[in-house]
Structure 1
Amino acid sequence: MKISVAMAYYNGGMYIEEQMDTILTQLSEQDEVIVSVDGASDGSKPLLLKMAEEDKRIHVIKGPGKGVVKNFENAIRHCSGEIIYLSDQDDIWKPDKVKKVNEAFLNPKVKAVLHDAQIVDECGNPTGAEGLFANRGSRKGILKNLIKNSYVGCCMAFRRELIPVICPIPKEMYMHDYWIGTAAEYMGEVCFIKEPLIDYRRHSSNVTQMTHGSMSFMIKKRIDIVRCLGLLKRRVKEAGEEIEKVNG
């Protein structure tokens, strides 16, 4: 099955070569990496274009310039693979990530896969901090993940059939990964792999942080998410109706 890797890029020149190397070594010739570029003011645009010229699996596209959620959506919309992996620009994929995630998709009921991650510093050295699953108490469940989100995008892959359901992502959604994970739960099963399959790099330039915002912000965010879930349910229902029509 063809794999697409959807990457949202913004001034990631410091780490992109190492990250891309760990991805490409696990892909076949038919697979692809879609890099949606929201900005490269760090001078990394020539590097991206050079990488794409040297490896035809890399496709560099212009991002919408509307933040990380819409940048990921743009990358996802350009993916043609059956399985779509989300990727940050600065992490390190462990050598058997793709093999183990793909094995989980052999179960046709599985719509998305989530794996654990080891926390490393900007040099790639383990920090000794607990992994993402332990940090977030990761498990499936709509209510559980509304309270504390388990669905970290760089640890996720999902089936292509979710695209009509998740896109477009509502502007009120602060987290594309929570949106995708919840859609997968509504449509089927989510497989959790307890093994850390990436090194999750934490540094001063990270777009996402491991700490929460203010209480008022957290409350507002969850109110907005609950409002969006009604839209998600309608899309899932419509997708199911379309599948029934096709299957006749």
Structure 2
Amino acid sequence: MATYNGGEYLVEQLNSIFPQLGTEDEIIISDDYSTDNTLEIVKELNDPRVKIYLNSLGKGYTRNFENALSQCTGDIIFLCDQDDVWEPNKVQRMSYLLSKNDLVVSDCKVVNDKLETIYNSHFSIHRTSSGFLKNFIKPRYIGACMAFNRRVLDCSLPFPKKQKYCAHDYWISLVAEMKFNVATLDEPLMLYRRHAHNASSGGEVSKFSLSHKVSTRVYTGICLLLRWIR
């Protein structure tokens, strides 16, 4: 989990996760030097499974996620935002599919800040499916809906240097599509909260210029080629 001034929704998110965890699981939180009560909330949990690190890799949510991922010790990794809500069977359903695949992406229900439904299915709106080329051209995966094994993690780290051209979920999904088995799960396993302070676009209409989109694909393509031959 990457956090930054997420105190408003953080408790609700964590409360949806804890019942799904075992004693050997961990919640790795990387905080990008929050100025609200985020760190106080985490420290008050007093749960040995929760480990908090300050982001040492540079400002921004992509570097914040990279810092969190570099601290993970488990064999299965779930990406997690600070403001969503997991369905009670998310870990069970995705872990089962990860026994046969390297990365799994689930559907989600898109909701507003009060958890009122905007869309029942992100997949239906964005016609989400697996495949390298279609997801390279137009990113359709939401990072918080992804889970993957350590092989994918080890191959994805470190992230490319220019984070403005390569978000963490875009990069991880393409590395997985390029080198591993990817499965999509047509089942909403998360309430994906959209509000005024979201750090990412979350698959919504992009506000980037055409030149930025082209630069993103060129830069990411070069980085993927270099990673392939590594």
TM-score above 0.5: yes
C-alpha displacement of 1:44: 2.5
C-alpha displacement of 1:82: 0.7
Q: Name the counterpart of 2:209.
A: 214
Following TM superposition, the consecutive aligned residue runs of length 4 or more in structure 1 with deviations greater than 3 angstroms are: none
Q: Name the counterpart of 1:187.
A: 179
Amino acid at match of 2:67: N
Contact 1:112 1:184 in 2 (8 A): yes
Q: Name the counterpart of 1:141.
A: 131
Point out the structure with max Rg over C-alpha: 1
Paired with 1:202 and 1:232, the residues of 2 have a C-alpha distance of 33
The alignment status of 1:89 with 2:82, answered yes or no, reads: yes
Q: Name the counterpart of 1:34.
A: 28
Counterpart mapping for 1:220-231 below 5 A = 220-231=215-226
Amino acid at match of 1:148: K
Q: SS of 1:151's equivalent?
A: coil
Measured on the aligned residues, the alpha-carbon RMSD in Å equals 1.3
C-alpha displacement of 1:178: 1.7
Paired with 1:185 and 1:142, the residues of 2 have a C-alpha distance of 5
The alignment status of 1:117 with 2:142, answered yes or no, reads: no
Q: Name the counterpart of 1:160.
A: 150
The alignment status of 1:73 with 2:61, answered yes or no, reads: no
Q: SS of 1:196's equivalent?
A: strand
Paired with 1:205 and 1:39, the residues of 2 have a C-alpha distance of 16
Amino acid at match of 2:193: R
Paired with 2:33 and 2:132, the residues of 1 have a C-alpha distance of 34
Question: Gaps spanning 5+ residues in structure 2: where?
Answer: none
Amino acid at match of 1:227: I
Contact 2:108 2:120 in 1 (8 A): no
Amino acid at match of 2:198: N
For each residue in 1:44-77, what CA deviation from the matched residue of structure 2 results, as whole angstroms up to 9, or x when unmatched?
Answer: 22112112x2x11111111124211111111111
TM-score w.r.t. the length of structure 1 is: 0.86
Q: Name the counterpart of 2:168.
A: 176
Amino acid at match of 1:102: S
TM-score w.r.t. the length of structure 2 is: 0.93
